[in-house]
Structure 1
Amino acid sequence: MQYRRLGRAGLQVSQLSYGSWVTYANQIDVKAARECMAAAFDAGVNFFDNAEAYAGGQSEVVMGEAFKALGWPRMSYIVSTKFYWGLAEGPNQRNTLNRKYLMQAIDQSLQRLQLEHVDLVFCHRPDPHTPIEETVWAMSDMIRQGKALYWGTSEWSAQEIRAAWEIAERHHLHKPVMEQPQYHLFHRQRVEKEYARLYEDLGLGLTTWSPLASGLLTGKYRGGIPADSRGAMDNLSFLREQLTDRTRNEAVGRLEELARDLGGTVAQLAIAWCAHNPRVSSVITGASRLSQLQDNLKAAELLPRLTPEVLARIDDITLPLAR
């Protein structure tokens, strides 16, 4: 496993990381989570991604119990959480980044995770109804209080990220140092175009999510939606149209042939392609079973095989379908 700095920050994160979205508390329990986390850690993964909203807070509970059972030294791993969606109805409790919500949400997350602090905390989405300055002060205070070490954003526009950074610069506050955007072979514009100036100007680091396009880039949906797949889950029905897109599934078929030539799977190729981007600090992978996690982590072995010629072939297949 290779390690990369989180943008311009000093923190080193594993180039492949392990996230809990969808799977924890929905598909796997504490025992399975502990098994997967142990295997990831043994493979060199040091970053474990989570969020308040995942499984209505239960994803943090599962991960917290797993951390407790594993008993790793706190210095040896990095854990994140994210805030915005909230867990309850009512004013100041949902779809906000106001100070009241943020300062209480971090305390509740730490209780669920059974930790004294998280390493990374993200504003899970932008909040058009709260002044960015209010959010920046709250996030900086969260770090000053020792409840988090670094803060950043997820799916914010380049303009919003720059505005937050400049407010922090002006008031000598802790700046946002990372962004967590969706990034995969069919979803490139934000990472490769919109954020292009931010990497050098602000030192922005990326922890990207959905390298497999919610499973599309595994090839499992080429023949429809398997009964035991993510696409068959009722709470993820909104993904079905993109998972069964005929043109993209045909492209996945061509990628499968290329991946075989390289000695890997299409999923490993897709993950390795994300990690090949030097602006990506860590690619967040997910898995609902141990064998799937182990297969995903083998993507690191394909990285040296992504020559300019191979990358050009990948672009020929996917770039016309990317957005």
Structure 2
Amino acid sequence: MLYRRLGDIEVPVLSLGSWNTWDRVDFQEAVVMIARAAELGCAFFDVAHYDMGPHAENSRTDVIFGKAVREAGLKREDWLYCGKLWLWEYPAKGFTQQLTRALDRVGAERADMVVVGDYFNTVDNERIVDDVAEQIDAGRFTTWGVNNWPYQDVRAAIDIARRRGLQPPRFAQLKYSLARRAMAEKYRSLFEANELALQASDVFEGGVLVGKLRPGRKIGADVGGIRNQIVAAWPRVDALAKELGGTPAQVAIAFCLANPHTSNVLMGVSRLAQLTENVRALELVERIPDTADLWLDKKEMEQ
């Protein structure tokens, strides 16, 4: 397994997400996958409590994960935990309240890092930076990042934190894939200055980029309305995978990791075979060709 820096923490370049994952996996399969992830050196899990805004789904994915990681025999020091703090009902539901409940559901005393999201046009950067610092001081996590924030607000949060001697956001969890690159490109100056690292999410476009052209479950938002174009581009992705002697999933992951600013990739897996297959994406990173023809949201760069 390869490791890169994500904030102040050395992390494996592959990690497993939780949205619509653990609650649709056979429990024993989940236990086996978690144990195997530890054996492969990628026991890094993005685990959120989905209970606000569009994610108020009464999901038990985090509770199931917590039970499975214990059943797998992993001690807390054996795995990395990236949690979420939501802005949907913030500050009415403050970070202390949110994190207390999230940690309790997973059965952990602390996270290693958290992501603050989703974004709103009225983000109070001063308050967010203060409230995150309070949680860090309380020992509830070490470093933090943001989720799909516009560049100007991330820049503001970094500047506020530095001015006040507090920890700034150290990474950005962004939609980033063969097809969606605009937001990460808008962050390029922050990445190149080593002010932020990129954590790539939704790298399979809800399954579309691995051949599930009509996903039967809820998937991520279609920012910019380009999903039909992504579906139409699927034959090119499939052909590229065959050219490289890999799978579409491996190509999607390898593309993200070929970007030197990417610290790690969040991937959704529901079967052990998928996990084993996806780890082999590391073999393709050095061989990914120019895929400019698959970048389908370039027009977002103008906004």
TM-score by length of 2: 0.88
Q: Which amino acid aligns with 2:230?
A: R
Aligned length: 293
| Counterpart among 189, 206, 210 of residue 182 in structure 2 | 189
Distance across 2 between alignment mates of 1:237 and 1:79? 22
Distance across 1 between alignment mates of 2:152 and 2:258? 26
Distance across 2 between alignment mates of 1:258 and 1:236? 24
| Counterpart among 181, 185, 195 of residue 203 in structure 1 | 195
Distance across 2 between alignment mates of 1:318 and 1:190? 15
Q: State the 1:129 CA deviation.
A: 4.2
Q: State the 1:187 CA deviation.
A: 0.6
Q: Which amino acid aligns with 1:214?
A: G
Gaps of 5+ in 2: none
1:42 aligns with 2:26: no
Contact 1:64–1:112 (8 Å) recurs in 2: yes
Contact 1:4–1:14 (8 Å) recurs in 2: yes
Identity of aligned pairs, percent? 32
Q: Secondary structure at the match of 1:176?
A: coil
TM-score by length of 1: 0.83
Contact 1:99–1:138 (8 Å) recurs in 2: no
Distance across 2 between alignment mates of 1:77 and 1:237? 26
Distance across 1 between alignment mates of 2:190 and 2:220? 34
1:168 aligns with 2:152: no
Summarize the alignment of residues 47-86 of structure 1 with structure 2, pairs less than 5 Å apart.
Answer: 47-53=44-50, 56=58, 58-84=60-86
Match in the other structure for 1:228: none
Q: Which amino acid aligns with 1:22?
A: N
Contact 1:14–1:44 (8 Å) recurs in 2: yes
Distance across 1 between alignment mates of 2:165 and 2:297? 43
Match in the other structure for 1:89: none
Summarize the alignment of residues 1-323 of structure 1 with structure 2, pairs less than 5 Å apart.
Answer: 1-6=1-6, 9-25=7-23, 27-53=24-50, 56=58, 58-84=60-86, 95-98=88-91, 100-129=93-122, 131-192=124-185, 194-201=186-193, 203-221=195-213, 225=214, 231-233=215-217, 235-236=218-219, 245=228, 247-306=229-288, 310=289, 312=290, 314-315=291-292, 317-319=293-295
Contact 2:14–2:265 (8 Å) recurs in 1: yes
Q: State the 1:179 CA deviation.
A: 1.0
Gaps of 5+ in 1: 86-94, 226-230
Deviations 1:176-205 (CA, angstroms, capped at 9, x unpaired): 11110100111101112x101112445201
Q: State the 1:146 CA deviation.
A: 0.6
Distance across 1 between alignment mates of 2:227 and 2:192? 38
Deviations 1:222-251 (CA, angstroms, capped at 9, x unpaired): xxx3xxxxx223x45977xx7972x43342
Structure 1 residues 138 and 57, CA gap change in structure 2 (3 angstroms): farther
Distance across 2 between alignment mates of 1:65 and 1:248? 36
Q: Secondary structure at the match of 1:67?
A: helix
Q: Secondary structure at the match of 2:119?
A: coil
Distance across 1 between alignment mates of 2:149 and 2:220? 25
Distance across 2 between alignment mates of 1:124 and 1:252? 30
Distance across 1 between alignment mates of 2:157 and 2:118? 13
Contact 2:34–2:43 (8 Å) recurs in 1: no
Q: State the 1:152 CA deviation.
A: 1.4
Q: More helix per residue: 1 or 2? A: 1
Q: Which has the higher mean CA deviation after the structures are superposed, 102-111 or 257-266? A: 257-266
Structure 1 residues 50 and 213, CA gap change in structure 2 (3 angstroms): same
Distance across 2 between alignment mates of 1:187 and 1:257? 19
Structure 1 residues 293 and 166, CA gap change in structure 2 (3 angstroms): same
Q: Secondary structure at the match of 1:216?
A: helix
